[in-house]
Structure 1
Amino acid sequence: MNSLRKNIVIVLLALLIQILYACNRPDTKPLNVLLVGNSSIYYNNMPKMLEYIAHENGKEIRTKLIAFGGYTLQDHLRDGIVEKMLDSLNWDFVILNEQSTLGENYVVDGVRRVKESESFYESVRKFDSIIKKRGAKTVILSLYSRKNAPKIDGEILDYSYMKIARELGIQLSPVSYTWQDILKIRNNWQLYREDNLHPTPLGSYVTANVIYSTLTENKSKSLNGEINGPVIEEFDGNTYQDSIVCLIKIDESKSQIVSEKAYNNVLSLNESGGYFKLKKPD
């Protein structure tokens, strides 16, 4: 009898181990994600943060980054690197990241400002056509405005991203909305660097969370500890694979707020049919 009970316990433990392993291992099919843009997405190696978040949630996202300092989507179209990369692999998603002023050299009183840009719209249209022909899905990243910029600058950015996403029927990743929501409740959090443009490690972590929820339609669990990865040169975006550093040290309470805000904005967007109704700023 004791021997029988012992065998039953062993079998149950073996089954439990298999179940736990199955629940915690990454999904069998990884998502191949190509990120196209500039320094706002390569600072602090944001793509590696995205991969880490996915892994910790039992998923696998493989990223490839094509981003250079100051680049616009129009610049990427001209040099042709992205198109060649699209032919190298079966991509699931291509994320497009435009410059913080939509690629326009619009200056008021010596300060770079934002205005609606037809060249931005046309660049997204061309990229979306190229991407769809390769069987991938286009995602447009809704970038935050520069820190301390007039409110209307952010409104124009949000309107422009939403307008082109709706026109083409492509997915939008609500990064700007999440940054705004977090800064409303935690105005002491430093998401911007001293240049009032580029993200701090925490700012990049917020962006990575939003992209994760956009691609998977899931909320990341709260994370605690360090995320390590290769150094990316801030000037030109070159990656040094042999130089591994701490990209961010995140605590569970902060991570929980970020993941909740990121997921809630993605959920709200999806419940609205994928697009918020925005009035064109005056």
Structure 2
Amino acid sequence: MLHSRWAKLSVLTAFCLGCAAASAAGVQPEVKDLGMTPKSILIVGNSYMYYNCGLNGYLGGLIREKANPKIKTRIAAIGRGNLSQYPIAEYLDNNLLASHDKKFGQLDAGLMQKELKKRESYDLVIMQASNRGAEDQKRDAFYVPNHVKAIRAAGGTPVMLMTWVQRKKGAPAQSLVADCVTKIANDNHMMVIPVGLAFEAAQKAYPDVKFIMPDNTHPTAVGSYLMASTIYAALYHRDPTEATGFAGGCEKPLEPAVRQNMARVAWDTVKAWYGWK
């Protein structure tokens, strides 16, 4: 038992040190352009994705206004979920759904045939990476290659989403999370979207604005809009300040000045991250 604990500690320490060593130089993204224009998007993540108006509504609205009026965006989210808990291959091929296993019995033959013909296809699958420490990053590093393989086998393009860190005691530095997530993305030859860095930049530029809820982890509506703007900028290589007409589907839409400020921070962050002119 003692040997097992030391072995686990050694592996986690090695992973942490690897990210820390990379952090000293700053891990840079290797994939700096998506290389395609998505017509359909699946976002896989946890409650960050649906909290306070939700990413899906904001992102879909931004895209439909300027980039693609027919975009299809979907979210697969589990509260407190992580990438070890999402059967992404099943999301992309209805024939693989565990619920269709014959050991559970069989639906009426005609209905079953219709079910098996259903297949959600997505040009792009965005995976929310962990924003926690070495053990969680090591877990993502293990599961992500399997998800990437499934996404590409289904004809899609995988992308990693780097979020902000929790404002809690013991939370890792944003720079460490950024480097670990970027390393995982680089190892799997995919784009990483720097939402966490946009949050960091926005908080410095607008210290009086609340981007994270009092629980110190979930986004406010402003935070959700900033996340959507950063993703929009990265995916479409477009300035999100151009989408001035979309106020969001919330009961209390954000003020135009707030939306523009967040879009500007998102665009500046994305350009700096990928080295775009």
Same fold by TM-score, threshold 0.5 exceeded? yes
Task: Please tell me whether the aligned partners of residues 92 and 119 of structure 2 are also in contact (alpha carbons under 8 angstroms).
Answer: no
Q: In 2, Cα distance between the equivalents of 1:249 and 1:140?
A: 28
Q: Name the Cα RMSD after superposition.
A: 2.4
1:89 is aligned to 120
Task: Please tell me whether the aligned partners of residues 62 and 243 of structure 2 are also in contact (alpha carbons under 8 angstroms).
Answer: no
Alignment of 1:6-25 (within 5 A): none
| Residue 208 of structure 2 is aligned to residue 199 of structure 1 | no
Task: Point out where structure 1 has 5 or more consecutive residues left out of the alignment.
Answer: 1-28, 102-113, 229-244, 273-282
Q: In 1, Cα distance between the equivalents of 2:153 and 2:67?
A: 30
Amino acid paired to 1:250: L
Q: In 2, Cα distance between the equivalents of 1:81 and 1:42?
A: 21
Q: Relative to structure 1, is the Cα distance of residues 118 and 58 closer, same or farther in structure 2, using a 3 angstrom cutoff?
A: closer
**Aligned counterpart in structure 1 of residue 54 of structure 2, from 30, 37, 45:** 45
Secondary structure of 1:74's match? coil
- Report the Cα offset of residue 156 of structure 1: 2.2
1:126 is aligned to 146
Moved over 6 A (4+): none
Q: Relative to structure 1, is the Cα distance of residues 165 and 263 closer, same or farther in structure 2, using a 3 angstrom cutoff?
A: same
Amino acid paired to 1:217: H
Amino acid paired to 1:255: R
Task: Please tell me whether the aligned partners of residues 222 and 255 of structure 1 are also in contact (alpha carbons under 8 angstroms).
Answer: no
2:32 is aligned to none
Task: Please tell me whether the aligned partners of residues 162 and 194 of structure 2 are also in contact (alpha carbons under 8 angstroms).
Answer: yes
2:65 is aligned to 56
Task: Point out where structure 2 has 5 or more consecutive residues left out of the alignment.
Answer: 1-36, 97-117
Task: Please tell me whether the aligned partners of residues 83 and 140 of structure 2 are also in contact (alpha carbons under 8 angstroms).
Answer: yes
**Aligned counterpart in structure 2 of residue 68 of structure 1, from 49, 54, 78:** 78
| Residue 134 of structure 2 is aligned to residue 115 of structure 1 | yes
Task: Please tell me whether the aligned partners of residues 41 and 126 of structure 2 are also in contact (alpha carbons under 8 angstroms).
Answer: yes
Deviations 1:57-114 (CA, angstroms, capped at 9, x unpaired): 242331111101011110113x86434369823311100013432xxxxxxxxxxxx2
Amino acid paired to 1:84: D
1:161 is aligned to 181
Task: Please tell me whether the aligned partners of residues 72 and 99 of structure 1 are also in contact (alpha carbons under 8 angstroms).
Answer: yes
Task: Please tell me whether the aligned partners of residues 173 and 211 of structure 1 are also in contact (alpha carbons under 8 angstroms).
Answer: yes
**Aligned counterpart in structure 2 of residue 141 of structure 1, from 129, 136, 161:** 161
Q: In 2, Cα distance between the equivalents of 1:30 and 1:143?
A: 21
Q: Relative to structure 1, is the Cα distance of residues 222 and 80 closer, same or farther in structure 2, using a 3 angstrom cutoff?
A: closer
Amino acid paired to 2:84: Q
- Which structure features the higher share of strand residues? 1
Alignment of 1:225-240 (within 5 A): 226-228=247-249
- Report the Cα offset of residue 214 of structure 1: 1.4
2:41 is aligned to 33
Deviations 1:5-61 (CA, angstroms, capped at 9, x unpaired): xxxxxxxxxxxxxxxxxxxxxxxx972000111101111221111111112224233
Task: Please tell me whether the aligned partners of residues 41 and 72 of structure 2 are also in contact (alpha carbons under 8 angstroms).
Answer: yes
- Report the Cα offset of residue 265 of structure 1: 2.0
Q: In 2, Cα distance between the equivalents of 1:72 and 1:262?
A: 25
Secondary structure of 2:253's match? strand
Number of positions where the alignment pairs a residue of Structure 1 with one of Structure 2: 214
Q: In 2, Cα distance between the equivalents of 1:225 and 1:162?
A: 31
Secondary structure of 2:50's match? helix
- Report the Cα offset of residue 152 of structure 1: 4.1
Q: Relative to structure 1, is the Cα distance of residues 271 and 99 closer, same or farther in structure 2, using a 3 angstrom cutoff?
A: closer
Q: Relative to structure 1, is the Cα distance of residues 155 and 59 closer, same or farther in structure 2, using a 3 angstrom cutoff?
A: same
Amino acid paired to 2:150: I
Which of 1 and 2 has greater Rg? Answer: 1
Structure with the larger RCO, 1 or 2 (CA within 8 Å, 6+ apart): 2
Task: Please tell me whether the aligned partners of residues 224 and 251 of structure 1 are also in contact (alpha carbons under 8 angstroms).
Answer: no
